[in-house]
Amino acid sequence: MSKPLLSLPIRSLFLWLATSVLATNSAANSTDFRKPANHAAIDASGAPPPLALIADDLLTRIGSDNSLPATDNPRVQRQVEFFLSGPQALRATLRRARPYLFNIVTELEQASLPTGLALLPAIESAFDPKAVSPMHAAGLWQFIPATGDRYGLTLNRQYDGRFSPADSTMAAVRFLTALGEHYEGDWLLALAAYNTGPGNVDRAIARAKREALPVNYWDLSLPRETMDYVPRLLALLRIVAQPQRYNIELPFIANEPHLLAIDMQQRFSLSNIAEFTDLSIAELRRHNPALKADASPEQGPHTLQLPAALARSINDTRRREPDRVWHNVPAVHVVVSGDSLSELARTYETSVDRLQALNNLPDTRIGIGKKLTVGVSQAPDRPLDETSQISCHGVAKNLNYQYGTHTVRSGDSIWSIARTLGTQSGKLRSWNDMGGEKRVLSIGEQMHHASLKPKKERDNIIRYRARANDSLTAIAEKFGITTLDLRRCNSSLQSDPRVAPGQLVLIPVRPS
């Protein structure tokens, strides 16, 4: 018999039911199962295969670890039956683990902790990095704010490290290390303390000593959830180690990095990263759920998590271009009466679709007073050095502007100055870092403004992806420019003229 549902912890029951629904929709078409017949042989005693036999399967690597004690306790068997009663939910949970599991295993092994602890998020959050419990525990490892802060997670209005798979894993490793030391290597007690808190476990131990009872996890009087919590992890490890024995197919998870975390060491914006990687902002948010905005916090952390190949590509670019800026400061517009997305798109030279994406708008309706990110400011605070020709790091467009200042006179307003200059008030606010704030202008105040050069005087930029066998000279000849133009336009080519296939090269096209 499977375990009665009402005896399950509320959080685990909710997550398990949710994953069961999701799994039912996709399990019939799934082909990524790790079939029992493909596993390394299990000997007659049921022991997992030795480490030397592990191939490319990350679950086999975890299942081969025997650091956590095996037991035939009936509470473990009940949890085994629970998992086997919902195999689709179990497979869905393990598929969700795929992006994170290699990093978790690596961090645990580097800290000399049991590899089996890598499956703890399956019990805590069903490997959902956005999971939040009724008690406000959050993320893969279900940290409450106080514990997250104690173990080094950043939690503020811009960033919640509990939702970062990379950051929360490091915090969990620190927490588990402390618990392992506190309970002198008794991992069953340590796991109980991870669930209910070391204070509750210590009090249960003290009661057992006073009453001359055995001091071990199985005999302690602990909260109902904790009584099921540790057996549930042990049961999951037993199934992962011996899928043949339980006649269950598990997903194959390659024993290699799927996502890599990069310390960008400077502020970055998702729009800038999206432009480099060709990922959508929605995809980047999914990989970086700790970010509450579309940029990393000013004071950090500046951790960016990406698919492994893209992460390596960005690291290569950072080495080639150490001065590259990865953050564009967005212009902000406060909606006033009469504004519409289509009008704002024209004002800020963007599109309605982009405004909706930047601001997570489900439709085109906007309310008065709402702050909208409208894109990168159209012009800098001061004119650029026109003799420097074209820069291709976010300011090339500004070379198509001619710059000036307006001295505020009595009776001037943003609207009247914009009309005098033949521009829009939104642009004037953006050029002077005013956002959407309403304030009285001071007589004598200098207002920066810019206007487009005549079309024949403008420079244009072509974004070109280098192909196999491309060289600096070949690209220059293809577009009828000089290699000097290319080097001036691409700082990475100034120190290293080699061009890699797929590398983005910005091409200055001179007016005819």
SS3 254: strand
Of 107, 124, 184, 275, catalytic: 124
Which residues in 411-450 are b (16+ Cβ under 10 Å) and which e? ebebeebbeebebbbbbbbbbbebebeeeebeeeeebbbb
Q: Six-digit token pair at 18? A: 């949710």
d(Cα 99, Cα 103) in Å, to the nearest integer? 8
Of 140, 166, 168, the residue nearest 155 (C-alpha): 168
Query: Which DSSP string do the residues of 132-187 spell out, in sequence order?
Result: B-TT--BTTTTB-HHHHHHTT--BSSSBBGGG-HHHHHHHHHHHHHHHHHHTTT-H
Enter the tokens of residue 492: 């990475």
Reported as half-sphere exposure (CB side, CA atoms, 13 A), residue 87 has a value of: 13
- Report which secondary-structure segment, H or E, holds 343: helix 341-347
> Is 124 marked active-site?
yes
Q: Which of 169, 234, 223 is nearest to 193 (CA)?
A: 223
223: left (phi over 0), alpha (psi -120 to 50) or beta: beta
Go through the chain and tell me how many residues it has.
Answer: 512
Could you give the residue numbers annotated as active site?
124
